[in-house]
Amino acid sequence: MKAVIPAAGLGTRFLPATKSTPKEMLPVVDKPAIQYVVEEAVEAGIDDILIITGRGKQSIEDYFDMSYELESVLHQRNDYDTLEQLERISDLADIHYIRQKSPLGLGHAVLCAKKHVDDDDFAVLLGDDIIISETPCIGQLVDQFRAREAPVVAVGEVPREAVVRYGIVDGEPVGERLYRVRGMVEKPPVEEAPSTLAVMGRYVFTPEIFGFIEEVEPGRGGEIQLTDAISAYNRHHQVYAYRFDGRRFDLGNKLDWIKTNIELALTRDEYREQLLEFMRGKTSS
Ligand code: UTP
């Protein structure tokens, strides 16, 4: 199976930081967000990864490439630990790139992968969502995909007032964490949301999805919405939603990015105590 990581969005909610740095390259504790996403795919056994990039996203390609200058300096300094870290990044997977010429929406970004994906089933992982779990989230979805022989989208429960920010699934429970999708709606008003099950940036598709994306009319915000293509597909073939086991961290806006950094730093032994001490000092003054 191949993986596609759309990372061509403009990141307007994160301006000015994203004016010249891709949102996906913003650091989360000590590595860029997109590295967590690539590592999730690799841990799930996927090593053919296509990243959809766009204007101003060159640093993503540079990041996963070798850096001869840096590596030779580290050699001269006998800094083998850092050298190993750098080499590990460029050896992570077989990473390919294609440019989405204009950011016409997530559905359109996925469509850019059509040629590379060809006749294969494929996973989609959004480049600005980090999911931390025992079993990689995308691996959980691939297992369901194989068991059901049908596309699967990752979902999680959100507070009712938050439905306006997500694709929301109308699902019929058919297993412990599994739902048969009856419908999907992108960013519905609170009173129209069919549930509080929100789509969380991980999907597994058959290549038939491309035909449905091609048929989608621009929707909310003039963008080609992936949700609309999945809904259309679901009218012909069954799609499933899987409430994955794990925690998802959204990096799309500033406050969530700050919270994600704090939460993930607290899971690290080398930062935890000092960070807690720092925050206690800040909150008591
Ligand atoms: P978002 O919905 O967060 O959009 O995209 P965005 O444009 O990146 O950010 P804002 O809303 O302007 O702040 C979700 C994922 O889909 C990718 C983004 O890079 C992100 O990983 N995406 C979105 C594309 O690759 N192309 C697009 O046209 C839109």
Convert the pLDDT of each residue in 39-69 to its tens digit: 999 999 998 999 999 988 999 999 998 888 9
For the whole model, what pTM was predicted? 0.93
Scan for tokens 């058919």, then name that residue: 174
The tally of domains found in the chain comes to: 1
CA atoms of 123 and 203, how far apart (whole Å): 6
Q: What is the CATH number of the domain that holds 49?
A: 3.90.550.10
Residue 131 within a domain? yes
CA angle, 220 then 223 then 224, to 5°: 110
Domain that holds residue 166: 2-252
Residue 273 within a domain? no
Residue 199 within a domain? yes
Which residues approach ligand 1 with their CB closer than 6 A?
6-14, 23, 52, 100, 103-106, 108-109, 126-128, 252
CA of 272 to the centre of ligand 1 (A): 32
Per-residue pLDDT of the chain (285 residues; tens, 9 = 90+): 999 999 999 999 999 999 999 999 999 999 999 999 999 999 999 989 999 999 889 999 999 988 889 999 999 999 999 999 888 888 888 899 999 999 999 999 999 999 999 999 999 999 889 999 999 999 999 999 999 999 999 999 999 999 999 999 999 999 889 999 999 998 999 999 999 999 999 999 999 999 999 999 997 678 999 999 999 999 999 999 999 999 999 888 899 899 999 999 999 999 999 999 999 887 655
Residue 216 within a domain? yes
CA atoms of 203 and 20, how far apart (whole Å): 29
- The best mutation among 106, 199, 227, 253 to test binding of ligand 1, ranked by most ligand atoms within 8 Å of the C-beta, falls on 106
Residue 284 within a domain? no
CB atoms within 10 A of CB 34: 27
Residue 163 within a domain? yes
CA of 234 to the centre of ligand 1 (A): 23
Atom index in ligand 1 nearest the CA of residue 253 equals 13
Residue 277 within a domain? no
Residue 274 within a domain? no
Q: Among residues of the chain, what percentage have pLDDT more than 70?
A: 99
- The best mutation among 128, 130, 223 to test binding of ligand 1, ranked by most ligand atoms within 8 Å of the C-beta, falls on 128
Residue nearest to atom 8 of ligand 1 (CA): 9
Question: How many residues belong to the chain?
Answer: 285
CA of 105 to the centre of ligand 1 (A): 7
